[in-house]
C-alpha cells in the first residue's frame, strides 16, 4: 500500500509501533508453548524410538524434544509478527514522511 504525505505529497511509510512488540510477545508465547511442544515431541519420539529398543527410546525422545521446541518457538514468533503487522496497518495506521518529517494517521 502506497501512502502519500499529507503535507508535502512524497512517499510516506508506516511507523512500526506494534510489529516488534508483537514479534516479541509472540516469541515469548512460543517459548511457553515450546514446553508443551517439546513434551509432546519427546513422547512421540520415544514412541517411535521404542521400536528400536532402549537406546532408540532415548535418541527418539531427544530428537522429538528438539523438533517440538523448535516448531513451537518459530510458530509463536511468526504469529506475533503477523498480528503486530495487522495492528500497525489496520488499528494504529500511523505514517511518517522521511522528506519533511511529518507524522500523520489516516
With contact defined as beta carbons under 8 Å apart, do 65 and 38 qualify?
A: yes
**In the set 74, 99, 103, 106, which binds Zn ion (CB under 5 A)?**
99
Return the residues of window 5-24 that contact Zn ion according to CB under 5 A: 5, 7-8
Question: Cβ distance 94 to 6 under 8 Å?
Answer: no
Choose one: 2-10, 44-52, 55-63, 68-76; the region binding Zn ion (CB under 5 A): 2-10
* Cβ neighbours of residue 27 closer than 8 Å, sequence gap 6 or more: 73, 76, 77, 80
Give the shortest CB-13-to-Zn ion separation in angstroms: 11
Q: Which three cell numbers stand for residue 30?
A: 512460543
Closest distance of CB 14 from Zn ion, Å: 14
Residues 68 to 97 in contact with Zn ion, rule: CB under 5 A: 97
Amino acid at each position: 500500500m502506497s501512502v502519500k504525505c499529507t503535507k508535502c505529497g512524497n512517499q510516506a511509510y508506516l511507523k512500526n509501533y506494534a510489529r516488534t512488540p508483537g514479534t516479541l510477545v509472540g516469541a515469548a508465547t512460543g517459548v511457553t508453548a515450546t514446553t508443551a511442544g517439546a513434551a509432546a515431541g519427546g513422547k512421540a519420539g520415544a514412541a517411535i524410538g521404542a521400536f528400536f529398543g532402549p537406546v532408540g527410546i532415548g535418541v527418539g525422545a531427544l530428537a522429538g524434544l528438539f523438533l517440538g521446541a523448535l516448531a513451537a518457538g518459530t510458530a509463536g514468533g511468526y504469529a506475533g509478527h503477523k498480528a503486530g503487522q495487522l495492528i500497525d496497518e489496520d488499528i494504529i495506521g500511523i505514517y511518517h514522511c522521511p522528506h519533511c518529517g511529518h507524522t500523520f494517521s489516516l
